[in-house]
Structure formats: C-alpha cells, structure tokens
C-alpha cells in the first residue's frame, strides 16, 4: 500500500509540474486584443489595442523585445511575459 501511495503522489507531482510549465503561449503577431489582454500580465485592453495597431501599421514583431516599440510597453512587461510570448513561426528575420 505504501508503494501505491508513493506512485500516486509521484504521478500527481509530475502532472502538476507539467501544468505549471505549460503556460499558454501568446502569438503577438496574431493574437486579438482580448487574447493579448488576458494572456499577458500587465497588458490591459488599452495596451493590447496599441499592440495590434503597431502590428498593423509597422509590421510584425520579430522578437518579444520588439514590443517595447509600443508606447506603454516597457522592458518589465516584456520580462514578465517572456516565457509566454511567441512571434509565430512565419516571421522572417529583419534585413
């Protein structure tokens, strides 16, 4: 019985750790305003609107750090969300 409890506890801890590290990614090049606001810490509707507008006017973001081109998004917002931010697989490098 003790071995069974240890096995169950081990499986539970493994699954819990997987859930912790499986944060939803937010593709800043395709996410909607609501997806940006709900998926990124420190980003509300106003900043999310600015991100989408910047994307539409200035082209895609090539890295998480590119978000700092958006007024109101500073390095701390990027750092707090770095593990969640993706730029999608179809973005090419700048020349």
Q: What is the pLDDT of residue 13?
A: 63
In a domain, 18, yes or no: no
For the chain, the farthest-separated pair of C-alpha atoms sits apart, in whole angstroms, at 63
Specify if 3 maps to a domain. Answer: no
Q: State the CATH number of the domain containing residue 69.
A: 1.10.150.320
| pLDDT above 90 (res 40) | yes
Q: Where are the alpha helices (DSSP H) in 40-74?
A: 45-58
Q: Is this prediction's pTM over 0.75?
A: no
The encoded tokens of residue 41 equal 């810490």
Of all residues in the chain, the percent with pLDDT exceeding 70 is 75
Query: Is residue 83 in a domain?
Result: yes
Where residue 59 falls among pLDDT bands split at 50, 70, 90?
very high
- How many domains does the chain divide into? 1
From CA 34, how far away is CA 74, in angstroms rounded?
20
* pLDDT average, residue stretch 37-66: 97
pLDDT of residue 23: 62
């Amino acid at each position: 019985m003790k071995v069974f409890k240890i096995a169950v506890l081990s499986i539970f801890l493994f699954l819990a750790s997987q859930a912790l590290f499986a944060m939803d990614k937010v593709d800043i090049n395709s996410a909607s305003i609501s997806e940006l606001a709900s998926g990124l810490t420190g980003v509300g509707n106003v900043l999310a609107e600015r991100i989408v507008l910047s994307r539409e006017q200035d082209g895609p973001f090539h890295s998480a750090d590119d978000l700092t081109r958006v007024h109101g998004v500073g390095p701390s917002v990027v750092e707090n969300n770095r593990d969640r931010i993706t730029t999608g697989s179809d973005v090419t490098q700048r020349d």
